[in-house]
Amino acid sequence: MKIGTIACAKAAVYALARLGLGALFIYAALVKIGAPQDFADALASYNFLPASIINPIALSLPPFELSCGLLLLTRHFCATGLLSVIGLLGVFLAALLWAAARNLPVNCGCFGAVSVLDAGPGISLVRDGVLLLSAVLAYRHELRLRVTLSRMM
């Protein structure tokens, strides 16, 4: 295989990861925006946050997720979008680990009250871990692309 072909294949994989993450975050945000009380209930089930900030978080997190997804899909400020997604996934993983360590019967809340994508804590941990790895790899690719482009100028 030629080096150019490998580079094109890598770029395509990273683009698919970026687009997939963007679409997933937009979908998750829209579901939560459509049912904010369900998301607030899911947040409360973690016993992680003070009750006084659950509703503000339930109302502000989905628009932030939506903006992150749009940044990834449009490629405007893509590195910022990827860093934000990495941070969010890190927080989501920490919350899931917190709940799992305490045997709390939580619904992830990521994709609405009833979703195949939220099958259980174990699946949610694996899913978020894979998404985090994808985001980190896409971010690394984005940085390399920036360095390459800056050297060309």
Tell me: pLDDT of 1 over 60: no
The rounded distance, in Å, linking the Cα atoms of 11 and 110 is 28
Do residues 132 and 87 touch, judged by C-beta distance below 8 A? no
The rounded distance, in Å, linking the Cα atoms of 124 and 108 is 7
pTM to 2 decimal places: 0.87
Q: What is the pLDDT of residues 20-62, one digit of tens each?
A: 999 999 999 999 999 999 999 989 988 888 999 999 999 999 9
Tracing tokens 């060309």 back to the chain, one arrives at: 152
Our measurement of the distance from residue 138's CA atom to the centroid of its chain's CA atoms, rounded to an integer in Å, reads 12
Q: What is the pLDDT of residues 82-134, one digit of tens each?
A: 999 999 999 999 998 988 888 887 777 787 765 666 667 778 889 999 999 99
CA angle (62, 86, 42) in 5-degree steps: 40
